[in-house]
Chain A
Amino acid sequence: MTSYIGTATSRVDGRAKVTGEARYAGEFKAIRLAHAAVVESAIPKGRISRIDTGAARRVAGVLDVLTHENRPRMADTDKAWKDDVAPEDGSPFRPLYDDRIMFSGQPIALVLGEDWETARYAASLVDIQYDKQDFVTDLRQQHDQAFVVEKPDKPHGDADKAFAAASVRHEAEYYIPTEHHNPMELFASTVVWDGGGKLTVYDKTQGVQNVQRYLCSVFDKAPDDLRVISPYVGGAFGAGLRPQYQVVLATLGALALRRSVRLVLTRQQMYGLGYRPATIERLALGASANGTLDALTHEAIAVTSQFEEFSRNDTGWAALLYKSTNANYVHKLARLDLPTSSDMRAPGAATGVYALECAMDELAIALKLDPVELRLRCYSDRDQNEDLPYTSKALRECYRQGAEAFGWKARKAEPRSMRDGSDLVGWGMATGVWEALQMPMAVRIVLGANGHAEVFCAASDIGTGTYTIMAQVAADALGLPIDNITIRLGDSTLPQAPVEGGSWMAASTAHAIAATAEEIRGELLALAKRIKDSPLADARPEDVALADGRLVSKLDASRAISIADAMRSGAIERIEKEKTNTFAEDKKHARNTHSAVFAEVKVDEQLGVIRVTRVVSAVAAGRILNAKTAHSQIMGSVVWGIGMALHEETVFDHRFGRIMNANIAEYHVPVNADVHDIKVIFVDEPDDLVNPMGIKGLGEIGIVGVAAAIANAVYHATGKRIRDLPITLDKVMR
């Protein structure tokens, strides 16, 4: 029997998605469904002095207007409002809680109507008076008020002194603007009133159980009275890790009306949710003439809200990649009158490694070294934060295979030295690094005598292909054709799963399936042994495998019993097993994924128009479960990296504290014309230390380093070093 793991299996949910059979949170139906519309704050900071809902209430078809003054009860402690992934410090946002305004776009009233058009119109009639307060939304203005946050990276030596003494130095500041996730699917919740206070909540989320616990806590519900379902998610990229305000408001509406309520945010309102924080990064690199690092300082100042401290690690990545005798890391946060920043694909790394890898490029130029060569000279075989070796690190191979596929050898070092007609040609490269995380997770498998199996888990598939890789792993573990496997996900009543994030889903689900399948196999063996003259009478559990619908001895393939026969012997129709898999703790190794990204840009010399004509991304991420979905993850990441380099920026008018491009016509992401040739290489990286199946995950590694490779290529093409993203044509022309 052929194995499914590693093959380019097409998405098992592909048909459901393209035919519209796959339902999303805002599409579930309910009888007597009411529709909700949000009224947002026009100011970034202050108090609501008066809120007049009279005109809105008088609109025919309006059922109620909820504000902080008349809403149903919600929890009143920070603890109750903390979801599983909330920042440790701070006071989570509570929509419609009181009269305080903490950011522009904050929801301050909820209009409930018989239909959405009515609710939306009535929302425009809610009249609000504010007591305005001074505010700040500009990171550069709040720069000096930033405070230090603890990070795991450990400074060593005296980086300042070593930098001063270094023979070759590079020091610069880099800037990444605020970016928003913009998943295709709008944030939406349909809360179905099941009667007797019971609710079924269809939500767009990366973690149904997180949302379920959170809502039960906020609304003081018993766990059995509230179920959260999210079978499909149209992209989330981190925006759906924390419960978003629409699920609170839709629930609030259902409780107030005692009927079902749907709330779909508008695209514009989605800019009132989390975002990748604007970040200022300072790098100071001191090297000896032979290209080894004596001093490495990385400082980051990122944005958070006034009420919570969200931060990820921007500064620690250098210690994973490069040896330096002295190193210093400082991570700061600046508070602005904005919503709390949030995770967005490779949080911390996408921004921190952008700066680090541009700085390394600049250092290579100062040293007159090839950028790849510099990275090899500084290559670290150990995680210097913890001083640990890696479970595996095929990064050298990424550099080698990536460079070869790209044709890096032919690069001329001098900027502005390569041309294609009137275009300047630039070649740049960068390194990517991310974590290989894994989480405890439970899976239930129900195997029928007919050789069909259902696999249950509360995990979400946010579009990455989780359904598909789970079906592959289950098919292999149970020895069944993939068509006989059904995967059920995204329901809080299913076996425990963490939120879908951190690239930990592939490793976690695969091992949980394997662990549960082992129990199934054990049970089948026990049944098989009961058969008279059983050929497996003496077989030990470790000596049998499931293949082609049979239990087969690994020692003698002629000794086998079909699943159907085994079940018949026990007079049962099905076997059901649930097991929680946990990973053995290993404090002796660092676990990471790596990549080398090579980019070619062509820049119109006169007009400054930049095209990213080629990208090669060579990734080392352990065992690749599905060549096709894995390729899509990396390709999508590269496209996003192009956007990060050239297009994406949330534009604020700091006089109003408002976002001025809160829509996807004016918030630019790459379109087809901006995307050319992208080649993805998976470097072989066998790893039996990271976990038994050698899986590392690759949802995030693909974006890390891409923007730096492009920025470095733009420098190589033009001789202009642009450190503030995005690199728009005016910056190149200047």
Chain B
Amino acid sequence: MIPFHYARANDVADAVRMISADPAAKFIAGGTNLVDLMKENVERPSRLIDISRLPLDTIEPTADGGLRIGALVPNSDLAYHPLVEQRYPLLASAILAGASAQLRNMASTGGNLLQRTRCAYFYDTVTPCNKREPGSGCSAIGGINRIHAILGTSENCIATHPSDMCVALAALDARVRVTGPAGERAMAFDDFHRLPGDTPQTDTNLLPDEIVTAIELPALGFADNYSYLKIRDRLSYAFALVSIAAALELEGGAIKQARLALGGVAHKPWRNTAAEAALRGQRADQASFSRAADILLRDAKGYEHNAFKIELARRGIIRTLTQAAQATPQSQYDKKIR
């Protein structure tokens, strides 16, 4: 960890001013990711701009029947909020699948979006890593890559985005509200995170002088038929090998609307609208689920240690869609997968 300045922002405008004035500064919210990376000398901010006391910690219904979630709402408050539990149980479930109770108490909504990859080489400053040091090479390709991506990879980086919450947000068609020097704007969730391409050092399309202020959810919450299934190397407190958020709107035995997003497989929460389209109008059965899985995974590519993820994702998709269709969502309290 290097010495750094610390300043507290008084309001959103103040925060934007402060970050615009110092490109080497970083916002700190819960600090659960940033401080770890600072200790490892991966993040070396000149200044921490403390946004944790900004009044962005409310959850409110919006005029169009959706929900607006402040960027500083703690992950645990969000998961246990009555409106979220009732109307967006997929989101509540995904959050509770992540990290530990202690971490969720500290972690913020905005910070969760901006958490960085868990690629071991990204953390180890001794080894080459394009994301940490552009141009130095990717050690994971040809190295230890069990937790790495199978979709949307590039020859420069095969890292994954580790969030669970974001997988649900992607499935729910959330929007991200951000504020910069030029004012406010909103981004579709799918546009927020990037694929690595040849600039893996950039995780998102948030500009360096912008702050995330809120997440907005549309009215449609899929509260009846949903499931979040996280498959990992132990039954709790581990990052996903593959996670699946599935949400269905059923009419009779047929699928009216479908959402399918995957975590642990790409540089961003992975959604595939073709797979969702293939489900629409179909019967909610194994054959349709299997077809959707095949479409979603069509371009999947495995590496030395993670090739198993392709088949695991396929089976996981079928299982999760089945759980959603049967209205028997995966419980995050059970010590078992349903």
Please tell me if B143 contacts chain A, counting CB pairs below 8 Å: yes
Question: Known contacts being A121-B3, A611-B336, is A653 close to B143, with CB within 8 Å?
Answer: yes
Give the shortest distance, in Å, between B149 (CB) and chain A (any CB).
16
Are A604 and B337 in contact, CB atoms less than 8 angstroms apart? yes
Give the shortest distance, in Å, between A117 (CB) and chain B (any CB).
7
Binds A, one of B15-23, B215-223, B262-270, B311-319: B311-319
Q: Which of B1, B139, B233, B236 contacts A729 (CB 8 A)?
A: B233
Are A671 and B237 in contact, CB atoms less than 8 angstroms apart? yes
For B236, the chain A residues whose CB sits under 8 A away are 671-674
Which residue among B118, B127, B241, B336 has the maximum number of chain A CB atoms within 10 Å of its CB? B336
A31 and B233 CA atoms in complex are apart in Å by 46
Question: Known contacts being A668-B238, A671-B236, is A124 close to B126, with CB within 8 Å?
Answer: no
Please tell me if B278 contacts chain A, counting CB pairs below 8 Å: no
Please tell me if A42 contacts chain B, counting CB pairs below 8 Å: yes
Question: Known contacts being A611-B335, A655-B143, A656-B126, is A661 close to B120, with CB within 8 Å?
Answer: yes
A730 and B232 CA atoms in complex are apart in Å by 10
Are B308 and A668 in contact, CB atoms less than 8 angstroms apart? no
Are B126 and A606 in contact, CB atoms less than 8 angstroms apart? no
Please tell me if A666 contacts chain B, counting CB pairs below 8 Å: yes
Are B1 and A121 in contact, CB atoms less than 8 angstroms apart? yes
- B6-40 interface mask toward A, CB cutoff 8 Å, 1 = contact, 0 = none? 00000000000000000000000000000000000
Are A653 and B139 in contact, CB atoms less than 8 angstroms apart? yes
Please tell me if B58 contacts chain A, counting CB pairs below 8 Å: no
Are A606 and B121 in contact, CB atoms less than 8 angstroms apart? no
Which residue among A653, A661, A670, A674 has the maximum number of chain B CB atoms within 10 Å of its CB? A653
Question: Known contacts being A121-B2, A673-B234, is A660 close to B335, with CB within 8 Å?
Answer: no
Q: Which of B3, B127, B237, B336 contacts A656 (CB 8 A)?
A: B127
For B241, the chain A residues whose CB sits under 8 A away are 729
A661 and B124 CA atoms in complex are apart in Å by 10
For B41, the chain A residues whose CB sits under 8 A away are 124
Are A729 and B231 in contact, CB atoms less than 8 angstroms apart? yes
Task: Give the nearest-CB partner of B142 in chain A.
Answer: A655
Are B308 and A671 in contact, CB atoms less than 8 angstroms apart? no
For A611, the chain B residues whose CB sits under 8 A away are 235, 335-336
A671 and B312 CA atoms in complex are apart in Å by 23
> Taking chain A's interface residues, is the majority helix, strand, or loop, or is none over half, making it mixed?
loop
Are B235 and A671 in contact, CB atoms less than 8 angstroms apart? yes
Please tell me if A676 contacts chain B, counting CB pairs below 8 Å: yes
Task: Give the nearest-CB partner of B3 in chain A.
Answer: A121
For A734, the chain B residues whose CB sits under 8 A away are 308
Please tell me if B144 contacts chain A, counting CB pairs below 8 Å: yes
For A121, the chain B residues whose CB sits under 8 A away are 1-3
Interface size class of B (residues with CB under 8 A): 20 to 34
Task: Give the nearest-CB partner of B338 in chain A.
Answer: A422
Task: Give the nearest-CB partner of B2 in chain A.
Answer: A121
A658 and B144 CA atoms in complex are apart in Å by 11
Please tell me if A120 contacts chain B, counting CB pairs below 8 Å: yes
How many A-B pairs have beta carbons closer than 8 Å: the answer is 87
Interface residues of A in 105-151 (CB under 8 A from B): 117, 120-121, 124
Question: Known contacts being A658-B124, A660-B124, A666-B118, is A729 close to B312, with CB within 8 Å?
Answer: yes
A666 and B123 CA atoms in complex are apart in Å by 12
Task: Give the nearest-CB partner of B126 in chain A.
Answer: A42
Give the shortest distance, in Å, between B104 (CB) and chain A (any CB).
15
For A124, the chain B residues whose CB sits under 8 A away are 1-2, 41
Are B235 and A674 in contact, CB atoms less than 8 angstroms apart? yes
For B238, the chain A residues whose CB sits under 8 A away are 668
Are A607 and B143 in contact, CB atoms less than 8 angstroms apart? no
Interface residues of A in 298-351 (CB under 8 A from B): none
Give the shortest distance, in Å, between B117 (CB) and chain A (any CB).
12
Question: Known contacts being A673-B236, A729-B233, A733-B308, is A660 close to B120, with CB within 8 Å?
Answer: yes
For A656, the chain B residues whose CB sits under 8 A away are 126-127, 139
Give the shortest distance, in Å, between B227 (CB) and chain A (any CB).
14
Are A607 and B315 in contact, CB atoms less than 8 angstroms apart? yes
Please tell me if A651 contacts chain B, counting CB pairs below 8 Å: yes
A728 and B118 CA atoms in complex are apart in Å by 19
Are B120 and A730 in contact, CB atoms less than 8 angstroms apart? no
Please tell me if A609 contacts chain B, counting CB pairs below 8 Å: yes
Question: Known contacts being A606-B319, A653-B144, A673-B335, is A660 close to B233, with CB within 8 Å?
Answer: no
A674 and B120 CA atoms in complex are apart in Å by 24
Interface residues of B in 216-261 (CB under 8 A from A): 231, 233-238, 241
> Taking chain B's interface residues, is the majority helix, strand, or loop, or is none over half, making it mixed?
loop
Are B234 and A730 in contact, CB atoms less than 8 angstroms apart? no
Please tell me if A228 contacts chain B, counting CB pairs below 8 Å: no
Give the shortest distance, in Å, between B292 (CB) and chain A (any CB).
16
Are A658 and B127 in contact, CB atoms less than 8 angstroms apart? yes
A308 and B33 CA atoms in complex are apart in Å by 39
Give the shortest distance, in Å, between B313 (CB) and chain A (any CB).
10
For A661, the chain B residues whose CB sits under 8 A away are 120
A671 and B241 CA atoms in complex are apart in Å by 17
For B337, the chain A residues whose CB sits under 8 A away are 604, 607, 609
Are A660 and B121 in contact, CB atoms less than 8 angstroms apart? yes
Give the shortest distance, in Å, between B66 (CB) and chain A (any CB).
33
- A259-294 interface mask toward B, CB cutoff 8 Å, 1 = contact, 0 = none? 000000000000000000000000000000000000
Question: Known contacts being A117-B1, A730-B312, is A668 close to B336, with CB within 8 Å?
Answer: no
For A672, the chain B residues whose CB sits under 8 A away are 236
A310 and B192 CA atoms in complex are apart in Å by 53
Q: Which of A117, A609, A646, A673 contacts B231 (CB 8 A)?
A: A609
Give the shortest distance, in Å, between A47 (CB) and chain B (any CB).
17
For A607, the chain B residues whose CB sits under 8 A away are 231, 312, 315-316, 319, 337
Please tell me if A169 contacts chain B, counting CB pairs below 8 Å: no
For A673, the chain B residues whose CB sits under 8 A away are 234-237, 335
Question: Known contacts being A607-B337, A653-B139, A676-B335, is A120 close to B1, with CB within 8 Å?
Answer: yes
For B335, the chain A residues whose CB sits under 8 A away are 611, 673-674, 676
For B3, the chain A residues whose CB sits under 8 A away are 121
Please tell me if A647 contacts chain B, counting CB pairs below 8 Å: yes
A671 and B139 CA atoms in complex are apart in Å by 30
Which residue among B2, B312, B319 has the maximum number of chain A CB atoms within 10 Å of its CB? B312
For B139, the chain A residues whose CB sits under 8 A away are 653, 655-656
For A604, the chain B residues whose CB sits under 8 A away are 337
A672 and B142 CA atoms in complex are apart in Å by 34
Q: Which of A42, A655, A671 contacts B234 (CB 8 A)?
A: A671
Interface residues of B in 110-138 (CB under 8 A from A): 118, 120-121, 124, 126-127
Please tell me if A579 contacts chain B, counting CB pairs below 8 Å: no
For A670, the chain B residues whose CB sits under 8 A away are 234
Please tell me if A716 contacts chain B, counting CB pairs below 8 Å: no
A647 and B238 CA atoms in complex are apart in Å by 11
Task: Give the nearest-CB partner of A660 in chain B.
Answer: B120
Task: Give the nearest-CB partner of A43 in chain B.
Answer: B126
A120 and B1 CA atoms in complex are apart in Å by 7
Please tell me if A602 contacts chain B, counting CB pairs below 8 Å: yes
Are B2 and A728 in contact, CB atoms less than 8 angstroms apart? no
For B233, the chain A residues whose CB sits under 8 A away are 647, 668, 728-729
For A666, the chain B residues whose CB sits under 8 A away are 118, 120
Question: Known contacts being A655-B143, A676-B335, is A606 close to B234, with CB within 8 Å?
Answer: no
Are B1 and A653 in contact, CB atoms less than 8 angstroms apart? no
A656 and B311 CA atoms in complex are apart in Å by 30
For B311, the chain A residues whose CB sits under 8 A away are 733
Task: Give the nearest-CB partner of B237 in chain A.
Answer: A671
Q: A117-B1, A606-B318, A656-B126 are in contact. List 11 more A-B contacts (CB 8 A).
A: A124-B2, A606-B315, A653-B120, A655-B139, A658-B127, A668-B233, A671-B236, A671-B237, A673-B236, A674-B234, A734-B308
List of 4 A-B pairs having minimum Cβ-Cβ separation, nearest first = A673-B236, A673-B235, A730-B308, A660-B120
On B, residues with C-beta under 8 Å from A are 1-3, 41, 118, 120-121, 124, 126-127, 139, 142-144, 231, 233-238, 241, 308, 311-312, 315-316, 318-319, 335-337
List 13 interface pairs A-B (beta carbons < 8 Å), by A numbering: A607-B231, A607-B316, A609-B231, A609-B235, A611-B235, A651-B120, A653-B139, A653-B143, A655-B143, A656-B139, A660-B124, A730-B308, A730-B312
